Amino acid sequence: MDPLGNLLLAASARPEVRTALLRVPVTRRVVQRFVAGDTVADAVRVVARLRDRGLPVSLDHLGEQHTDAESATAAVEATLGSLDALAAAGLSAGSEVSVKLSAIGQAVAGSGSEAVALATRNARRIADAAAAVGALVTLDAEDAGTIDDLLQVHAELRRHHPDVGVVQQAMLRRTESELPGLAASGARIRLVKGAYAEPPEVAHQDRAAVDRAYARCLAVLMAGPAHPMVATHDPRCIVLAGELAGRTGRSAQDWEHQLLYGIRPQEQQRLVDAGRRVRVYVPWGTEWYGYFTRRLAERPANLQFFLRSLVTH
């Protein structure tokens, strides 16, 4: 991530910056570009529109770092409600929900192992409900300090639901040594560059090094029995994924692209029209602050656009 992006992520964690940003009415308008809406009905409307264009989704109920059990339970209920709403609209089969463990128990204050156990139980409820309506689940990756918990919960869930997916962040140095084992197990793996500010001991710092790590990880994924979910908007990585899939003899059904709602929508459509499988990650809900600031931080042009709208408003 650029130094400016790191600075923004650090600043956005400060309560006074958060309060100021949430107060500015224009923030809300810029957020709408990246978030389907506050309610599950908003989310289902967007899912229906995307499905009409050949784009299945991964629905993400926004929220993270819930430190009390009640908020964690509310987050689980919201995700379960989204699965019900998708099923009622005839849209659940082939859809996915994305889940952040820190939203559903892993960040609850107290003993670490109890929190992980709570997150595991909650994730299991979601995976059971998803399976019942023909939907999939993928566990998002958060900051580097949570990856051990993530891999542990993922392995546990796969005992009952082998198709539960997990995110791997190419920017983390550990990913390249752990990915081959995970890929060999045939897991669904969503490969991303990584959206969190991390220190040099654990993560590549400059963009070129992250891009090279992404390409190496992609080659490992495409060569093995995993189901690769190529989650990037980077044109070079998208081309490379297509080349590697061709070279390793993968059919279009054996892997997929994933892109975020509101980012490069024409490219999403172009890929579908070219016969690729493409899934759009659609966030919804009122807790959009963390997600939104990560989207600003990863692209200086977004930040400039946002700052310009503040001035011209």
Residue 62 gets which letter from DSSP?
-
Q: Helix (H, G, I), strand (E, B), or coil: what is residue 6?
A: helix
Which residues are marked as active site? 140, 190
State yes or no: residue 198 binds ligand FAD (CB under 6 A): no
Q: DSSP letter string over 170-237?
A: TTBHHHHHHHHHHHHTT-EEEEE---S---TTTB--SHHHHHHHHHHHHHHHHHSSSEEEEE---HHH
State yes or no: residue 260 binds ligand FAD (CB under 6 A): yes
Phi first, then psi, for residue 76 (nearest 5°) are -65, -45
Q: Which of 64, 96, 140, 198 binds ligand FAD (CB under 6 A)?
A: 140
What ranges in 224-281 are assigned the alpha helix state H?
A: 235-247, 265-273
Q: Helix (H, G, I), strand (E, B), or coil: what is residue 57?
A: strand
Q: Which is nearer to ligand FAD, 80 or 240 (CB)?
A: 240
Q: Which is nearer to ligand FAD, 54 or 84 (CB)?
A: 54
Choose the stretch contacting ligand FAD; rule: CB under 6 A; options: 154-162, 245-253, 257-265, 285-293. Answer: 257-265
CB atoms within 10 A of CB 108: 21
Within 13 Å of residue 41, how many CA atoms lie on the same side as its CB? 0
State yes or no: residue 79 binds ligand FAD (CB under 6 A): no
State yes or no: residue 196 binds ligand FAD (CB under 6 A): yes
State yes or no: residue 128 binds ligand FAD (CB under 6 A): no
- The count of residues interacting with ligand FAD (CB under 6 A) is 23
Kindly identify the residues of this chain, within the stretch 285-304, that bind ligand FAD according to CB under 6 A: 295, 298-299, 302
Which spans of this chain sit near ligand FAD (rule: CB under 6 A)?
140-141, 167, 169, 192-196, 231-234, 258-260, 263-264, 281, 295, 298-299, 302
